[in-house]
């Protein structure tokens, strides 16, 4: 299992991905195996975008039975990703990385 396989998803295009049940979602085998290894049943990935570039992912895992992600939970995680994206330490690091 490589991280690259895990990241083949909508967050690379700047979109969130809410998965209510990893067993019912069409995922790459390596992605599903990775989540199973963590005992994850539902998964929410939200991109952290800095200057329209993917800086990282904010991920919520639910390890109990399946879980539809309510809009309120999605909005809260999106807010967290937006807060991270404007944090001075992240902004400063992204600026340094862009100047290399």
pLDDT of residue 100: 52
In whole angstroms, give the CA distance from residue 76 to residue 82. 10
Given a contact cutoff of 8 angstroms between Cβ atoms, the answer to whether 85 and 49 are in contact is yes
CATH number at residue 56: 3.30.450.40
pLDDT band, residue 91 (cuts 50/70/90): confident
| Structural domain for 20, as ranges | 3-98
Whether the pLDDT of residue 11 is over 60: the answer is no
pLDDT tens digits for range 15-69? 788 999 999 998 889 989 999 999 999 999 899 988 888 888 899 999 989 999 9
Q: What is the pTM of this model?
A: 0.72
* Strand duo 53-62 + 17-19: pairing: unpaired
Q: According to the model, what pLDDT value does residue 31 have?
A: 87
Total number of domains constituting the chain? 1
């Amino acid at each position: 299992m490589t991280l690259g396989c895990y990241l083949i998803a909508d967050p690379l295009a700047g979109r969130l991905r809410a998965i209510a049940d990893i067993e019912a979602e069409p995922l790459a085998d390596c992605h599903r195996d990775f989540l199973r290894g963590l005992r994850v049943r539902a998964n929410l990935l939200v991109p952290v975008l800095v200057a329209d570039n993917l800086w990282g992912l904010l991920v919520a895992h639910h390890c109990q039975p399946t879980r539809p992600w309510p809009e309120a939970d999605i909005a809260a995680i999106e807010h967290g990703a937006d807060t991270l994206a404007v944090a001075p330490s992240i902004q400063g690091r992204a600026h340094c990385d862009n100047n290399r």
